[in-house]
Structure 1
Amino acid sequence: MLESKNKNQDIYRFTISRVLQFLVGVVLCCLLILTTGCRPILLNSQSNNNSKLVLVNPSPPPTFNYPISRSPYGIFGFIYEGLISENGLTGELEPALAESWIFSEDKKRIIFTLRSELKWSDGKPLTADDVVFTYQDIYLNPKIPTVYKDFLRIGSTGAFPSVKKIDKRRVEFILPEPFAPFLRYIGRLKILPDHALRDTILSTDADGKPLFLSTWNTNTKPQEIIGNGAFRLENYIPSQRIVLQKNPFYWRSDLAGNSLPYLDKLIIEIIPSTDNQLLRFRSGELDSIGVDAEAFQLLKREEKRGKYKIYNGGPNLNFQFVGFNLNQGINSQGKPFLNPMKSRWFNNLAFRQAVAYSINRQQINNNIYRGLGEIRHSALAVQSPYYLSPEAGLKVYKYNPEKAKKLLLDAGFQYNDANELLDKDGNRVEFTILVKSEEKLRIDTAVQIKEDLSNIGIKANLQVLNFNTVLQKLFLSRDWECYVGAFGVPGADFEPNLLSLFWSSNGSFHQFNLGSKPGEPRMKNWQVSDWEKEIDRLFTAGYQTVNENQRREIYGEFQQIVAEQLPVFFLVNSLSLQAVRNHIDNLKFSAIGGAFWNIDELKIQEK
């Protein structure tokens, strides 16, 4: 027998309490990665057309191909939807392309029923065939190296679900075992058009790879990119702007029967400099801007005159960190990804602990974040119901350079007469800190870390690169040494299994020790530490466990391992601040969804 959706919500809904973090501009880091396509900052056009807004991204999109994109700076949240979605106020799961879903009694089968008369942005019908194609031929295709495959791994074996069409509007997913996070994962995966992409899956290039991998790049004609979201692509001028127009075939409408979105166009300006973004906002051109600590006091003073409000969502849930490359693997040319000498330093726990004690995070918060941040200690945010606090036993690293020096000396390092740190073989300890160029606060943080490291005799050099190049070094060439970055997935602090992308040894964003990805030759000499294996075990236990007290114990143990082993060291989380002009109507700001999660419902009041 199949049970109703409502009857099973209490069983299958994840623990959602006070707040979730809306990921804006990150990274899988981040990603981000993220992974569902973040929504950029809203800006206002100088046009007299009040149904048009202009947005901003700091980097151009590397591709318009959603499944293979790793950048957080995409437009996918505007042009695509999945079967279900998350409410930006409550975090609750809600119907999207699917109007309902039901579970079998053994919790291994889920049937989704699509809304009637769904259409793609080119007017073609959207049916169950598209859902089956998206999952079976793209996400679960071994020839497609998509990070979203990780969302579909079930159980300790990493087995995948199967999907089949029941009829035109119904699709059934069959799981190898009950898997609590699956329903929320489904909400993160967008549905793609069978009629526009099937040929690219079936055809291959000269190397035998599906043409899909080179489809819908940034040179593709906009009308060829088909979506199902509130907007569709109208034009793209590389490295300048993306123009989106209202999708006339979008399924949503308001209570009066008016089709959504209310906005006719969105223009995403590509402006790398946050200083330039601030300048345009203060001059009155822009409707909204993310407010960093550096700009807060200035913008707060002008709040009334500028006719805007600064919203505060509390500390960001994504984590800022500094971490070392622990990968001991060998590349396809037979060379180590990392200098073996430096690899020995980085894989020395005492070395990582010494670095943790050497960084003055309070000074970073005071000087760089202007006090508008909170020092972070754990892999989970303080808002998480699974958070392990220092008071409850979490290991922390308060600023103590003398303790850092002692750890290094006890580990066999030494100092010369110039107080420069040497390893046991007399080599100067020197490495490069990688940081993205688009975020001044992060660069300033890297500079502060460089100075702190010099106080314990370590020479650090900065490498400031655009974010797309940073991603290539992290996930392709793997030839980085130290990285100041950030990572977050919306909802992950309330369903920690979402963080398996970063923490599990086979995760696509396991950047500090990234193994072979699908389509790559098997990496030689890649080593997974015992503590990484233990984190893998804990994440498996976490998704298999229903009892919340037991889950808290499991994820508490995970946080302690991270704190003790320091694959990354957490820094300062800034407050989530957003300035929004008062004439944007129907704004529903929340710490969960941010300012513009309901962009299809926004209106512009007459000025």
Structure 2
Amino acid sequence: MSLSRIWKPGLFVVMVILAIALFGRSVLTRSSNANAIPQLVFVSPSDPSTFNTPLNQSAFNIFGFINEGLLTQNGITTELEPALAESWKISEDKLKIVFTLREGLQWSDGHPLTADDVEFSYNDIYLNEKVPTGIRDILRVGDGYPSVRTLDDLHVEFTVPEPFAPFLRYAGGISILPKHALQKAVETTDEQGDLVLLTTWGTDTDPREIIGAGYYRMTDYVPGQRVILERNPYYWRKDETGQSQPYIERVVLQIIESDETQSIAFRSGELDSLDVKPEAFGLLKKEEKKGKYTIYNGGPSAESRFVGFNLSKAKNEKGVSFVDPIKSKWFNDVRFRQAIAYGINRDRMKNNIYRGLGAVQHSAIGVSSPYYLSPEEGLKTYDYNPQKAKELFLEMGFQYKEDGQLFDADNHPIRFNLLVKSEEKTRVDAAVQIQQDLKAIGIQADLQVLNFNTVLKHLQGRDWDAYVGGFGGGGVEPHSSFNIWYSGGSLHQFNQGPYPWEKSLQGWEVSDWEKEIDRLFQEGARELDESKRREIYGDFQKVVAENVPFLYLVNALSLEAVRDRIENIKFTSFGGAFWNLYELKVEED
């Protein structure tokens, strides 16, 4: 299992996704000694990029273990359930929610957790314009934001300027942060005038200083090797007999870069779970009984894989375009993007790379979502049709030379870089096939296979042409991807606007279809009638399919291998195997 599969509040903001040594045997070896500590060993393909929750932009993090929100989501039903808040009440006009906290809540350092911490988390951090956090994007309500105020130690009131359908999930779901530990960092600036918070709780911080309200707290972090977490002794949850939860005392996160090495570590018994990639499924399935594990299948996953082009026309502070203007002209012509879509053989990708363990993805919203619009309902699709691709290129004034190479109307060869992260073999294999498919229609795509954190730097710096990317599942609420689709969102990667720390962005333009998506998301958030919301998000999917900012590839099956020694697994595609980690037990060998 990867870190991104632990669903907890605070992971609503779905983010995009190092030659690593294996753990020492002293950490991983299981003991039959009756005094051995019950533990689980998970895997991450990348080091955490930060221990500072609002600044995180990576799916590979530890926040699902150490943080908690007011509410949580049931991994089977996707219904909201009490967490730090034991109850909540919504006003008749749908503009206010009052949350009642549990009595006696404490932070992982034993300090009391009260409504002041909730107000601080929202007003001083998430809604603070000086804090560059993507969480602020999804809290936008029309042209405004919620207001939050403490009523007393156990009661906190949220108010929105207009009805906001995702309000309860967002107000309840985001991680609460400790005021006593972070208030000074929010009130103090450095020599450059930036909040000290922006350099607080980096990965160079002693893990024991990181405070949360979740199941676990960190005790150790060795970059490139592991993160170790121990059970939070102050966590609020208890079972019906009064025993503290979670039952499992320690979690070890082993950092292993490649899928292949992860698979070897799992098969050798060093990991307790593994997200099963298509290329490993056959071997793992054959060894299932001998290895004493079960491969769970939750159907199509909520995650996405896609090809995206950099549509930015903006320039850096020196007046130099982020994207070569010649390439930018191609990328910003919708016919070019549609031609690329017709030119990629996704059925071949599904059958060869995914071993048939998936389905071609057509929509920005997953098939398991109640808001999904199917091709039969009017969604535009791009079945493999290289002849159609060539016709669109010719319509743009492009021409083919005798050797089959495609040139634009100004006699520039059609050539660009294709960025992909190295840690995921399936994604790299998909990029290689895309390179082959594009060559067949006269285009040269030069692969840039880089580690995940380097890919992130390119994306954030707008220094890329095209990339094979992916986003994690956002649950059942479409607005959870607002920071991706909103033109001013922090993850609007295909045409990234100014970041909070940028005063302006020279030459940045928002297209009419992007503005239409902005309008639809605002309308969808305001609409409380579910049937009307489905129509609105259906229109959104049509706009995306027509304009192809992302060409979606293959939606893999949600497959996870889990040791049979772990009791009470309730696997689903939304929650994975460990959404109910607090009630799992380990039967020691």
User: Which TM-score band (shorter chain)?
Assistant: over 0.9
Deviations 1:59-93 (A, max 9, x none): 00111011101011110010010111111111110
Pair 1:542-2:524 in alignment = yes
Match of 1:74 among 52, 58, 61: 61
Match of 2:110 among 112, 117, 123: 123
Hey, what does 1:17 align to over in structure 2?
Answer: none
What 5-or-longer segments of structure 1 have no aligned partner? 1-21, 36-42
Amino acid at match of 2:127: L
Match of 1:593 among 552, 575, 589: 575
Hey, what does 1:325 align to over in structure 2?
Answer: 310
Match of 1:511 among 493, 515, 521: 493
Say which SS state the counterpart of residue 254 (structure 2) adopts.
Answer: strand
Pair 1:576-2:558 in alignment = yes
User: 1:342 & 1:266 partners in 2: Cα distance?
Assistant: 47
What is the Cα deviation at residue 592 of structure 1? 2.2
Name the TM-score, length of structure 1 as normaliser.
Answer: 0.92
Amino acid at match of 2:167: F
Pair 1:111-2:98 in alignment = yes
Hey, what does 1:482 align to over in structure 2?
Answer: 466
Is the Cα–Cα contact under 8 Å of residues 262 and 600 in structure 1 kept in the other structure?
yes
Amino acid at match of 1:488: G
Say which SS state the counterpart of residue 166 (structure 1) adopts.
Answer: strand
Which 4+ stretches in 1 moved above 3 angstroms?
22-26, 28-32
Hey, what does 2:411 align to over in structure 1?
Answer: 426
Deviations 1:479-499 (A, max 9, x none): 1100101123431xx321222
Is the Cα–Cα contact under 8 Å of residues 244 and 265 in structure 1 kept in the other structure?
yes
Hey, what does 1:189 align to over in structure 2?
Answer: 174
What is the Cα deviation at residue 346 of structure 1? 0.2
Is the Cα–Cα contact under 8 Å of residues 358 and 400 in structure 1 kept in the other structure?
yes
User: 1:25 & 1:57 partners in 2: Cα distance?
Assistant: 12
Hey, what does 1:8 align to over in structure 2?
Answer: none
Hey, what does 1:381 align to over in structure 2?
Answer: 366
Match of 1:502 among 467, 484, 501: 484
Match of 1:46 among 26, 29, 45: 29
Is the Cα–Cα contact under 8 Å of residues 11 and 64 in structure 2 kept in the other structure?
no
Is the Cα–Cα contact under 8 Å of residues 158 and 171 in structure 2 kept in the other structure?
no
Q: How does 1:283-322 map to 2 (within 5 A)?
A: 283-322=268-307
Is the Cα–Cα contact under 8 Å of residues 111 and 173 in structure 1 kept in the other structure?
yes
What is the Cα deviation at residue 29 of structure 1? 12
User: 2:426 & 2:69 partners in 1: Cα distance?
Assistant: 34
Match of 2:266 among 281, 290, 314: 281
Is the Cα–Cα contact under 8 Å of residues 23 and 489 in structure 1 kept in the other structure?
no
Name the TM-score, length of structure 2 as normaliser.
Answer: 0.95
Say which SS state the counterpart of residue 204 (structure 1) adopts.
Answer: coil
What is the Cα deviation at residue 599 of structure 1? 1.2
Deviations 1:482-523 (A, max 9, x none): 0101123431xx321222221121222111011002121211
Match of 2:424 among 400, 417, 439: 439
Deviations 1:178-226 (A, max 9, x none): 2110111123310111111111111111101011100011111122111
User: 1:169 & 1:24 partners in 2: Cα distance?
Assistant: 31
What is the Cα deviation at residue 416 of structure 1? 1.3
Deviations 1:418-453 (A, max 9, x none): 111111111111000000111000000000000000
User: 2:509 & 2:569 partners in 1: Cα distance?
Assistant: 49
Pair 1:233-2:218 in alignment = yes
Query: Which deviates more, 111-120 or 494-503?
Result: 494-503
Match of 1:414 among 383, 399, 404: 399
Hey, what does 2:138 align to over in structure 1?
Answer: 151
Pair 1:56-2:43 in alignment = yes
User: 1:502 & 1:140 partners in 2: Cα distance?
Assistant: 18
Is the Cα–Cα contact under 8 Å of residues 274 and 440 in structure 1 kept in the other structure?
yes
User: 1:109 & 1:353 partners in 2: Cα distance?
Assistant: 44
Say which SS state the counterpart of residue 575 (structure 1) adopts.
Answer: strand
Change (3 A) 1:381 1:239: same
Amino acid at match of 2:485: W
Query: Which deviates more, 538-547 or 191-200?
Result: 538-547
Is the Cα–Cα contact under 8 Å of residues 437 and 466 in structure 1 kept in the other structure?
yes
Say which SS state the counterpart of residue 63 (structure 1) adopts.
Answer: coil
Deviations 1:152-175 (A, max 9, x none): 1112x1x01111111111111111
Hey, what does 2:240 align to over in structure 1?
Answer: 255
Is the Cα–Cα contact under 8 Å of residues 311 and 494 in structure 2 kept in the other structure?
yes
Pair 1:352-2:337 in alignment = yes
Amino-acid identity (%)? 55
Is the Cα–Cα contact under 8 Å of residues 88 and 597 in structure 1 kept in the other structure?
yes
Amino acid at match of 1:24: R
Hey, what does 2:22 align to over in structure 1?
Answer: none
Hey, what does 1:16 align to over in structure 2?
Answer: none
CA RMSD in angstroms comes to 1.9
Amino acid at match of 1:124: H
What is the Cα deviation at residue 238 of structure 1? 1.2
Q: How many residues matched?
A: 573
Deviations 1:236-257 (A, max 9, x none): 1111110101111010111111
Say which SS state the counterpart of residue 136 (structure 2) adopts.
Answer: helix
